[in-house]
Structure 1
Amino acid sequence: MQPLTLFTLPGSYAFCRLHPDGHIPHWALLGDDFVSLTRTRDELSVVCLQSNVPAEAQAERGWRCIKVEGPFDFSVSGVHASLALPLAEANISVMAIATYETDHLLLKEQDLEPAIAVLTKAGHTFRTE
């Protein structure tokens, strides 16, 4: 896998667990950087800007998002592994979410700077928007 270009999205994110039969709340869709919605029979999971999440919502707060500059063809392999493996070796946990065009890595706020250092050392490049 060749080196990837990455950038950090502004703001903090939260993972929210909602009732599986519930409606997607309006607050989940506010903002224009990144939102992820996943429904299973057990839950409706929403990842969105933390500032949009009501205080009473069941949520894991304090996440930052690293986006891989894409798009990638579906046949390209190793994108996630080239990021997750060096982070795992550095004991940095990530939650990965893939979209049609690219990958996003969410990690706890305190792990952002160490993750940038690890991924840069692994040969990836960070750019500013």
Structure 2
Amino acid sequence: MRNKIFFAVAATLMSTSLYAHDVTFEAMDNNGDKKISKDEFHGNAIGRSTYSDYDLNGDGSLTKEEFGETGYDEGLFDDWDANDDDELNHYEYHGGTFHYHDDNEDGYWQEDEWENAASDGVWDI
């Protein structure tokens, strides 16, 4: 009986954990307008993106060497480094990521752009 209760609780916790990390297009489209703005992206990306995976020393920013592990062209680092401090904070990284995947450059992600970002491994789930 104990084992059944344990497994039931474990299954419930696992499903709750997966739901908490819901990174669907619909979940990120906070206002339901069928597109994701930069603000919606930033609000949803913190804690869900792969940024922390690349921050190898845990200092809260990416060096050029750490950025080299992201899979993005290393030449983008300087473009994304808005304050020219030779580090990318999470705002700069997420801003660069957003613009990189905004294929039609309209300032929003449509569902196909979101899917491209997801297939490129943007989400840390």
Higher relative contact order (CA 8 A, sep 6+): 1
With the shorter chain as reference, the TM-score category is under 0.3
Report the TM-score, using the length of structure 2 for normalisation. Answer: 0.23
- Which structure has the highest helix share of the two? 2
Report the TM-score, using the length of structure 1 for normalisation. Answer: 0.23
